[in-house]
Amino acid sequence: MAFLQTTLTIVLLLASSGNGALHDQASSWSVDVFHRYMQDYQKPYAVGSDEYVKRLNNFKASLTRVALLNAQSEEENQRLSQVNDTIVINDRHRSSPGRPVYGINSFSDLSTQEFIASKQCMHRGNVSQFAGSSALTADEFMSKHADMVTPPDKWDWRNQSVVTEIKNQKSCGSCWAFAAIETIESAWAIKYSRLYSLSVQQLISCNIGTGNSGCNGGRYETAYNWLIQGSRKVDLDAEYPYYDSKGGVLPCREVETKSPVTLTSYQSILNISLATESGLLMRAVYYYGPVAIVVDAASWQDYEGGIIQHHCTAQSLDHAVVIVGYDTTGPIPYWIVRNTWGGSWGHNGYLYIEMNKDLCGLESSPAYVQV
């Protein structure tokens, strides 16, 4: 999609110029870019139809929003460079991410409201309501781990061959199930040195009637409880593959699984503050493996790479993702976060969020598992 990105850059430059003729030319070019977008992302809208006009207008709004976000990001990058007397690298393909970068992706033809509605997949509520006795306060967690060695300044579970490939929930509101399965996959691989790709669909179709609602949302805590209380094995993905049922729920089916994977326990952590965020979550990630969290992902529609440092609130905590690592060695310490929107979104399916700001609400209800 190099042509699309190159053309997009030209359009954004023209659109942001003060020259009226160039602005009009940018508007015309944006239609051409949209047609290339439809081709690249396999979205065959009928030219001239009401749906086409709607999606084109959304796409133009995305172009404007991306230009604004990148301008703000570059301005902040320059300010930090002067304050820190260092250059914050803007290159999402380097090992150390720099400032946040925004661009065009599969969500660029959605309005902001449509995007938010399509990604609401975590039921809201008090964490203790879902976790019950499996919840620890931040003080209890830190007291429990007081004698443990301080985690290293940098850790990435992807480098330990215990993280499966990036997956795509598509139009199903199943982020809760992906977060549950991904933490279990990694915990099992860490303990037994065997990485299995496990079935998300088992949770979506079979963990019904306990508060979880398949493609209409759920909680990873409820999924953990269901597996533990039923002493259930987690099916292999090859045995029970994922199906994007677009809001519906496929009937549960029993599988004679070859999977040995079971869940012993999990812990949710309550009352995390800015003062304890990095120390606590670093310990959870380093000692137990990838950690499930709930976030507000409303501002992620245009994210392409770099470290998110602003523009990410905690107003609507309704999306589940997994922290797989962290890095505190650079000028901006950050979390490495795994998403479920496919490998073409973000930085190969991942994003980076600055530490110690409770950005996106990631302090809200982290949970780790033990197998």
Quick one: how far is CA 59 from the chain centroid? 22
At residue 93, the pLDDT reads: 37
111-119 mean pLDDT: 92
- Does any domain span residue 182? yes
Specify whether 64 is located in the same domain as 142. no
Specify whether 147 is located in the same domain as 183. yes
| Angle between helix 175-192 and 220-229 (nearest 10) | 50
- Does any domain span residue 122? no
At residue 343, the pLDDT reads: 96
Specify whether 133 is located in the same domain as 90. no
Specify whether 339 is located in the same domain as 190. yes
Q: Looking at the DSSP assignment, which residues form a beta bridge with residue 336?
A: 325, 352
Specify whether 69 is located in the same domain as 133. no
Specify whether 179 is located in the same domain as 305. yes
The CATH number that applies at residue 131 is 3.90.70.10
Long-range CB contacts (within 8 A, 24+) of 248-251: 248/214, 248/215, 249/204, 249/205, 249/208, 249/213, 249/214, 249/215, 249/216, 250/201, 250/204, 250/205, 250/214, 251/205
In which band, very low, low, confident or very high, does the pLDDT at 30 lie, cut at 50, 70 and 90? confident
| DSSP-derived pairing of the beta strands 307-308 and 350-354 | parallel
What does the buried/exposed string (b/e) look like for 47-84 if buried means 16 or more CB atoms within 10 Å of the residue's CB? eeeeebeebbebbbebbeebbebbeebeeebeebeeee
Specify whether 80 is located in the same domain as 209. no
- Prediction pTM value: 0.89
d(CA 337, CA 234): 23
Residues 160 and 195: beta-carbon distance below 8 Å: no
Specify whether 169 is located in the same domain as 317. yes
Residue-wise pLDDT tens digits, 275-324: 677 788 999 999 999 999 999 999 999 999 999 998 898 888 999 999 99
In which band, very low, low, confident or very high, does the pLDDT at 247 lie, cut at 50, 70 and 90? low
- % of the chain surpassing 70 pLDDT: 83
- Does any domain span residue 120? no
Q: Read off φ and ψ for residue 320, nearest 5 degrees.
A: -110, 135
Last residue of a domain, one of 58, 83, 99: 99
At residue 250, the pLDDT reads: 83
- Report the run of H or E that residue 223 belongs to, with start and end: helix 220-229
At residue 155, the pLDDT reads: 98
Specify whether 91 is located in the same domain as 137. no
Residue ranges of the alpha helices (H) in 218-321? 220-229, 277-288
In which band, very low, low, confident or very high, does the pLDDT at 92 lie, cut at 50, 70 and 90? very low
Specify whether 66 is located in the same domain as 142. no
At residue 244, the pLDDT reads: 82
The yes-or-no verdict on residue 369 having pLDDT over 50 is yes
> What does DSSP assign to residue 157?
G
Residues carrying an active site annotation:
175, 319, 339
44-58, 202-216, 341-355 — which is least confidently predicted? 202-216
- Report the run of H or E that residue 76 belongs to, with start and end: helix 50-84
- Does any domain span residue 117? no
69-93 mean pLDDT: 61
Specify whether 38 is located in the same domain as 147. no
The yes-or-no verdict on residue 129 having pLDDT over 50 is yes
Residue of 113, 174, 209 whose CA lies nearest to 320: 174
At residue 87, the pLDDT reads: 37
- % of the chain surpassing 90 pLDDT: 61
d(CA 326, CA 367): 16
- Does any domain span residue 54? yes
Residue-wise pLDDT tens digits, 94-114: 445 888 999 999 999 999 999
Last residue of a domain, one of 82, 99, 116: 99
Specify whether 179 is located in the same domain as 308. yes
Convert 163-174 into a string of H (helix), E (strand) and C (coil): CCCCCECCCCEC
Domain range holding 209?
127-370
Residues 199 and 146: beta-carbon distance below 8 Å: no
Q: Using DSSP, state whether 347 is helix, strand or coil.
A: strand
The pLDDT mean for the chain works out to 86
- Does any domain span residue 113? no
Q: Length of the chain, please? A: 371
The domain tally of the chain equals 2
At residue 1, the pLDDT reads: 53
Q: Read off φ and ψ for residue 266, nearest 5 degrees.
A: -150, 165
- Does any domain span residue 108? no
- Does any domain span residue 104? no
The yes-or-no verdict on residue 187 having pLDDT over 70 is yes
In which band, very low, low, confident or very high, does the pLDDT at 138 lie, cut at 50, 70 and 90? confident
131-138 mean pLDDT: 77
